Amino acid sequence: MSRTYRPEAPSVIFSGERPQDFSHMQIVDEVLEHPSIPVANEVIGSSAVAVREMRSTPLSSSLKLVAPQRPLAGSTGQAIKVRANHFKVTFHPGENIFQYNVDITPKISSKTVARTLARQLVEVYSSRFNGKLPAYDGSKSMYTHGPLPFEHDQFVVTLSEDRGTSGREKQFNVAIRHVSTLNRKNLEDFLKGEQVPTPQEHLQALDVLLRENPALHFIAVSRFFFKSELGSAKLEGGLVALNGFYQSLRPTEDGLQLNIDLSTTAFHANIPVIDFLRQQFRNFDPRYRLSDVVRVKVKKALARLKVQVIHRQTPRRYRISGLSTSPTKDLKFPIEGGGEMRVVDYFKLTYNYVIEFPELPCLQVQANKPSYLPMEVCVICDGQKYGGKLNDRQTTSLRKLACVLPRVREAKIRSIMNKNDGPGRGEHVKNFGVQVVSEMTVVNARLLPPPTLRYGDQGKVKEIVPSLGSWNLLNSCVVEGGNVTYWALISFDQSVTDHIAAAFVSNLSRRCNELGVHMAEQAVIPPVLRRLEDLDSSRLEKNLRDVYNQASEAIHDRGPETRLQLLVCVMAEKHPAYGELKRLCETQIGIVTQCCLSKHVKQCKSQYLANLALKVNAKAGGRNVTLALELPRMCPVFNRPTIIFGADVTHPSPGDDTGPSIAAVVANIDWPSANRYIARVRAQSHREEIIEYLREMVKELWHEFCVKTSSRPDRIIMFRDGVSEGQFDQVLQQEVVALKEAFEEVGGPDYKPLITWAVVQKRHHTRLFPADDVHKDKNNNILPGTVVDSTITHPREFDFFLCSHAGIQGTSRPTHYHVLWDENEFKSDDLQGLVYNLCYTYARCTRSVSVVPPAYYAHLAAYRARLYLDSLGGSDTSASLRGMRSGTASSGGGSSSRAGAPVVRLLPRVQRNVEEVMYFC
């Protein structure tokens, strides 16, 4: 019998009535900064002894946290083998690696040109390098196998016309200075799993080395390499998709491994600037002067692009820095001897070229010394990655090129590794004594059994064992049906008639009730039919409020607390107004919504209605499915009430240099099933990955858990999405500490629930392929439940790869889980089983999902808040706060301000009745 818990001091979270939420925009460093917390040099891990020490040590000691060591490998499930796209790297140097600083004058912004210069430097001054072939990162760092015969030296290098970007010979001064010696023993000790710092500089040096050969033959974009010969597709808008590959050196249990994967991205097409603008803007006509609005768009589209001129014999290149304020026909420049000359006259006299489009502005190049070029003589240079956001059609075209079946992907990766221009080849690698095997790594894996799922007692089928990650609802009912007594429907598609709408209302309510969702047979008012034009911003709010008011009037006599619970919204297609509709309903009016496409409304297929019923039930506070084996019976860790958090941060679209990032945290409010989740969201500093208001959100969710379950959680599990490896330590030192501080604030200094913190990574490049013809699906993907916790995992820390879903298109990507803190001392089998089983409880479908649901829900909640901001348009249409907390979807307390905090746009608050359910689902 669970004990009853009543929060003694809810004022810790709430101050009287629900307060406004203000924020302090704190920027965090590697070590947590807090005026009352001195920074100590002690280090503590999450082993059993360390946990006891941490739990008995006040937070003010600010101990340095370290990730836990890996427990014994798991044993549950069927042992199988898979191939990973990792290639063994052996490194047998006779000497250490020496790092040198490279300073080039004048500065070179292009890494490609800098690498060209470095190769010419080594070629011209080969005697000074004693036959060594240095690896160069194209910026400041150069590495050699063994020392050069000097500590520092200077060289003069001339780039010839065929190598330079300007079409002229240019002289550069290159200063090289020894800065450090990388001891190979540090790397060897780390790879043995010893408790030593990660030798990041050593790994970086070898990573740069392995990129030397591909950088010579491909378009290099960081760790990605592209070439049209590997495949390409034309995209609309003057873009082209190119195939290529990604490579990264990984330290693993089995030593160093080179991770190689296919990649596809969008580049600017090598076309004239005029043609590019024609494809970018439907109404662009080069014969006419640009309006102010179009001019701003053109300037943004061309910003920082490199162009090559075609009106002269030497193909000189320039980088666009802006547009001239005047059209080409009015543009003049000073000439020697006094006076001015028009640009159009200069081109006629010098090149016998007549400007065809004199009304267009010129491109401004060389920002430090403005020069102007007519658009029509400029062609966009090849090999420039597109940095903007792709539209839906562009994304679809790119995905078609990128989506390949497992056998095709595996064959292409092998081909890349075996070609002379690939990684692991070339003279530089040999010079360093490095070898890369050409065969993929064979890895021991296990196939976890699927969980038994429990449905409602009303149905004939009460328990289901999924097959290949999916199941159906035939003869089943949801575990706990929500109540949708008062609901309405509005359609924004004029092709939806009264008859179609009435039939849909009847069929939806019938299917919901068949599945155990308690939905009224009829909406409280007849379906409201509107046109597509009524989705316009000027009309949308009025239409929504009219429906709400009509429904409220129809049910006003049923009690003062009675209100519309659900509004079903029908649209003809995916519409830009979707975000605004969600914002208005969820933050202004206070209605939970469910959007449908009219084509499905007209067809009324049973499967579609069933899927819709699952979403409706989740939004109505119901539970669709649960594990037959509840968590306390599944794992000893869950012998006490447990709250499971999910967290994610979403960032502004590419090209948005000012918009806030949005953090979302979700948590279950039921126990022991952990099926119902609620969310809290915050706007925070631009592109800040660390969650700045984690304490406030966690405290609010903790309070809700206590109220809903009448118990206080003794164990905490956090699944944190969206964190790169380079941020692991920052998250550990700041977010884990913030979590501990939150619990101390709500429960007092003696309340120290045991915390496990795991990072969830989907955006990695490890792929697993079946090693036999038995353990695979019809598309040759690995099966759901495939888990790998050895060989390609971290040399020392607790991580694993889990494919929890069935691949529908292309090649399945396993999710990587990396434990940063573990006071609960999970065994490998227990944590892997928990994650895999939870993936079958995702509320929106009858399939296991690829990411553990709490992290998935956090992503959905953050995305929903992003829609709110996007629907508000520019910053002039929404409020901003400086040094204050942005309005949020929660009701937490305030926090201190940070001086000089950036302006963060106000995030609309989700209405209380909406945030109590899974409105984001």
* CATH assignment at residue 788: 3.30.420.10
Residue at 897 is within a domain: yes
- Give the pLDDT of residue 653: 87
DSSP H/E element including 178: strand 170-182
Q: Strand 799-803 relative to strand 441-447: parallel, antiparallel, unpaired?
A: unpaired
Residue 601 sits in the same domain as residue 537: yes
Spatial separation of the C-alpha atoms in residues 836 and 907, rounded to whole Å: 34
Q: For the chain, what percentages of helix, strand and coil (3-state, to nearest 5) are there?
A: 30, 25, 45
Task: Identify whether the C-beta of residue 143 lies closer than 8 Å to the C-beta of residue 117.
Answer: no
DSSP H/E element including 143: strand 141-145
Residue 612 sits in the same domain as residue 638: no
Q: Give the Å distances, CA to CA, from 349 to 254, 313, 361, 665.
A: 69, 16, 20, 66
Residue 500 sits in the same domain as residue 613: yes
Closest CA to 155 of 193, 102, 197: 102
Positive or negative torsion for Cα 16, 18, 22, 23: positive
Instruction: Report the largest interatomic distance among the alpha carbons of the chain, rounded to a whole angstrom.
Output: 98
Q: How confident is the model at residue 877 (pLDDT cuts 50, 70, 90)?
A: very low
Q: Strand 64-65 relative to strand 43-44: parallel, antiparallel, unpaired?
A: parallel
- Give the pLDDT of residue 50: 55
| DSSP-derived secondary structure letter, 847 | B
- Give the pLDDT of residue 507: 98
Q: Give the Å distances, CA to CA, from 343 to 202, 307, 352, 369, 374.
A: 54, 19, 12, 17, 8
Q: How confident is the model at residue 57 (pLDDT cuts 50, 70, 90)?
A: low
- Give the pLDDT of residue 904: 72
Residue at 76 is within a domain: no
Residue 318 sits in the same domain as residue 340: yes
Residue range 283-295, pLDDT digits in tens:
899 999 999 999 9
Residue 586 sits in the same domain as residue 632: no
Q: With left for phi above 0 and alpha for psi between -120 and 50, is residue 901 left, alpha or beta?
A: beta
Tokens 């199941």, residue?
471
Task: Identify whether the C-beta of residue 142 lies closer than 8 Å to the C-beta of residue 136.
Answer: yes
Please state the rounded mean pLDDT for residues 401-408: 97
Tokens 């000189």, residue?
316
Q: How confident is the model at residue 492 (pLDDT cuts 50, 70, 90)?
A: very high
Task: Select from 575, 597, 619 the last residue of a domain.
Answer: 619
Task: Identify whether the C-beta of residue 485 lies closer than 8 Å to the C-beta of residue 115.
Answer: no
pLDDT, averaged across the chain: 89
Spatial separation of the C-alpha atoms in residues 801 and 835, rounded to whole Å: 11
- 582-599 as b/e: b if 16+ CB within 10 A: bbbbbbebbbbbbbbbbe
Q: How confident is the model at residue 93 (pLDDT cuts 50, 70, 90)?
A: low
Residue at 224 is within a domain: no
Provide long-range contacts, Cβ within 8 A and 24+ apart, for 341-346. 343/372, 343/374
Spatial separation of the C-alpha atoms in residues 740 and 734, rounded to whole Å: 10
Say whether pLDDT at 117 is over 90. yes
- Range of weakest confidence among 12-26, 346-360, 563-577, 816-830: 12-26
Residue range 831-865, pLDDT digits in tens:
999 999 999 999 999 999 999 999 999 999 999 99
Residue at 103 is within a domain: no
Residue 602 sits in the same domain as residue 654: no
Residue range 244-293, pLDDT digits in tens:
999 999 999 999 999 999 999 999 999 999 999 999 998 899 999 999 99
- Give the pLDDT of residue 46: 60
- Give the pLDDT of residue 574: 86
Residue 613 sits in the same domain as residue 750: no
78, β-bridge pairs: 447
Please state the rounded mean pLDDT for residues 697-724: 97
Task: Select from 619, 651, 676 the last residue of a domain.
Answer: 619
Q: What percent of the chain has pLDDT over 70?
A: 89
Spatial separation of the C-alpha atoms in residues 482 and 323, rounded to whole Å: 59
Say whether pLDDT at 163 is over 50. no
| DSSP-derived secondary structure letter, 467 | B
Cis bond upstream, residue 672 (ω within 30): yes
Say whether pLDDT at 626 is over 70. yes
Residue at 165 is within a domain: no
Say whether pLDDT at 18 is over 80. no
Which ranges of 419-520 would DSSP assign to H, the alpha helix? 427-431, 498-514
Residue at 77 is within a domain: no
Residue at 607 is within a domain: yes
Please state the rounded mean pLDDT for residues 508-537: 97
The one-letter code for the residue type at 299 is K
Residue 658 sits in the same domain as residue 754: yes
Q: How confident is the model at residue 730 (pLDDT cuts 50, 70, 90)?
A: very high
Q: How confident is the model at residue 557 (pLDDT cuts 50, 70, 90)?
A: confident
Structure tokens at 401: 């090129």
Residue range 734-753, pLDDT digits in tens:
999 999 999 999 999 999 99
3-class secondary structure for 589-644? HCCEEEEEEHHHHHHCCHHHHHHHHHHHHHHCCCECCEECCCHHHHCHHHHCCEEE
- Range of weakest confidence among 448-452, 700-704, 876-880, 904-908: 876-880
Domain count, the chain: 3
Question: Which residues constitute the domain of residue 566?
Answer: 481-619
Spatial separation of the C-alpha atoms in residues 42 and 65, rounded to whole Å: 9
- Range of weakest confidence among 414-423, 562-571, 768-777, 899-908: 899-908
Phi, psi of 28 (to 5 degrees): -110, 145
Classified as helix, coil or strand, 741 is helix
Residue 817 sits in the same domain as residue 683: yes
Say whether pLDDT at 503 is over 90. yes
Q: What percent of the chain has pLDDT over 90?
A: 80
Closest CA to 238 of 386, 399, 378, 359: 386
- Give the pLDDT of residue 67: 96
Residue at 648 is within a domain: yes
Please state the rounded mean pLDDT for residues 653-664: 90
The number of beta carbons lying within 10 Å of the beta carbon of residue 769 is: 20
Say whether pLDDT at 888 is over 50. no
Residue range 187-207, pLDDT digits in tens:
999 998 888 889 999 999 999
- Range of weakest confidence among 59-68, 340-349, 386-395, 424-433: 59-68
Task: Select from 334, 358, 380 the last residue of a domain.
Answer: 380
CATH number for the domain harbouring residue 592 = 3.40.50.2300
Task: Identify whether the C-beta of residue 854 lies closer than 8 Å to the C-beta of residue 842.
Answer: no
